Amino acid sequence: MLKRIMIVAAMLFCAAPQVSAQERFITLASTTSTDQSGLFGHLLPMFRAETGIWVRVVAVGTGQALKLGERGDADALLVHDRAGEDKFVAEGFGIDRRDVMYNDFVVVGPKADPAGVKGAPSVAEAFKRIAATKAPFASRGDDSGTHRSELRIWKSAGVDVKAAGSGWYRELGSGMGPTLNTAAGMNAYALADRGTWAGFKNRQSLVIVSEGDRSLFNPYGSILVNPARHAGIKAADAVVWHRWLTGPKGQAAIAGFKIDGEQLFFPDSK
């Protein structure tokens, strides 16, 4: 797993905007949902224009982003798993965790809805119906914030997917976009963040089949990696980013990000 994380991080780092040694930059470990939704393409040029600081984004699952922070391979994090975030700070790897924004998860599936999910009174009941009918389900399986939320829903539904068998539950070990592509190809159900879903073009027969449950709430937090743990952290510039993102200008920029007129993230800084 560690080797895989390092390979993915290296690939994404190489794909990041190239800056000269004289230019200021920070490394931000964040999620595929914030990246693939297009949010960073909207935010980062504004931030750089105001501060002169480049942000190099390493877009991985939340679990992997937290590991990058633990090792000091990032200066700041923007992730979405509150339990994991609080643990990261409590163990001394991060400081000054702040609320940034929220959106929600949606359950997508084939329009024909073979599991009868659309009539379910809760997302837990929707998952129970998927398991009971052994309808194909595409899971990210990558320890991302989305994957962690999905596993919590299965647990609340009383379904042990590890013991499910029969091949209906597919752990892919991939980001949100590739997982949706697989779900579209398989005519499978999947849990997706609304931001990535809104920007996803290869939907084929997939539609939203369950939404609005309180357990689908999806908050994001910004955390500074603790410079006391790692001498090479760009602490001062990371603070500039952290404060901008959670300040009036960053929050207004988040509110202004839309796809086809739909606002995808809602500012939540206290």
Query: Which pLDDT score, from 0 to 100, does residue 164 have?
Result: 65
Same domain, 115 and 209: yes
Buried-state track 160-188, b at ≥16 Cβ within 10 A, e below 16: ebeeeeeebbbebebbbbbbbbbbbeebb
User: In this structure, are 125 and 204 located in the same domain?
Assistant: yes
Q: What percent of the chain has pLDDT over 70?
A: 91
pLDDT at 52 over 50: yes
Summarize pLDDT for 236-270 with one digit per residue, the tens: 999 999 999 999 999 999 999 999 999 999 999 87
| Mean pLDDT value across residues 6-29 | 61
Which of 123, 81, 108 lies closest to 218, judged by CA?
A: 81
Same domain, 98 and 111: no
Residues 11 and 157: their CA atoms lie apart, in Å, by 37
54 and 117 belong to one structural domain: no
Residues 193, 259, single domain; the answer is: no
Instruction: Quote the distance between the C-alpha of residue 73 and its chain's center.
Output: 18
Strands 94-110 and 206-210: antiparallel
Same domain membership, residue 26 and residue 8: yes
Q: What tokens appear for 34 in the block?
A: 């914030």
Across the chain, what does the average pLDDT equal? 91
Q: How many domains in the chain?
A: 2
User: Tell me, what's the pLDDT at 166?
Assistant: 65
Q: Give dist(CA 122, CA 157) in Å, integer.
A: 10
Q: State residue 141's pLDDT score.
A: 93
Same-domain pairing of 212 and 225: no
* Same-domain pairing of 186 and 134: yes
Do 41 and 84 reside in the same domain of the chain? yes
| pLDDT tens profile 18-42 | 555 568 999 999 998 899 889 999 9
For residues 151 and 180, state if they share a domain.
yes
Do residue 120 and residue 98 come from a single domain?
no
Residue 17 has pLDDT above 80, yes or no: no
Contact between 175 and 209 under an 8 Å Cβ cutoff? The reply is no
More confident residue, 16 or 104: 104
Q: What is the pLDDT of residues 172-215, one digit of tens each?
A: 999 999 999 999 999 999 999 998 999 899 999 999 999 999 99
Q: What is the pLDDT of residue 132?
A: 95
Find the domain containing 205 and state its range. 104-216
167 vs 266, residue with greater confidence: 266
Residue 67 pLDDT more than 90?
yes
* Cβ atoms of residues 76 and 242 within 8 Å: yes
Task: Return the CATH number at 131.
Answer: 3.40.190.10
Based on the fold, state whether residues 54 and 6 are members of the same structural domain: yes
pLDDT tens for 94-151 read 999 999 999 999 999 999 999 999 989 999 999 999 999 999 999 999 999 999 999 9
